[in-house]
Amino acid sequence: METGITWVIAVGAVAYALGLGAVILAVVRKARVQVRPALIGVRGGLTIAAFTIVLVAAGIGLGFALEALGVPFPATLAILPVAVGLAFGGPRLMGHLRKLMMSRPLAGAR
């Protein structure tokens, strides 16, 4: 988007949409995920919300700061620490949520 080159934007958007769709299909087919609000509880929901808000705020704040400084491609550069946060924080978040769910009475003896 920041390049302003139409064909780059079009190819990038199509590639992103196809890639995201393929990943979602693969995960849904393999994992057979079932959402059970009784297991995750309010604490789990708040944990997910806080994780999301921190990453969004970091990305937006850094992007605006880089733009104000006149750095080229500020949004592209601002997303890098967000990607690192997802890559390293995501598994930690899932581990925390797993412990939280297993500690609830509905989780059983697993």
Same structural domain, 65 and 101: yes
User: Considering its fold, how many domains does the chain have in total?
Assistant: 2
Maximum separation of any 2 CA atoms in the chain, in Å:
56
Same structural domain, 88 and 103: yes
CA dihedral 75, 58, 22, 91 (to 10 degrees): 150
Q: Is 41 left (phi over 0), alpha (psi -120 to 50) or beta?
A: left
CA 66/CA 80 separation, integer angstroms: 13
Domain extent, residue 12, equals 1-33
Give tens-digit pLDDT for 15-38. Answer: 999 999 999 888 878 876 666 777
Give tens-digit pLDDT for 38-95. Answer: 778 888 989 999 999 999 999 999 999 999 999 999 989 999 999 999 999 999 999 9
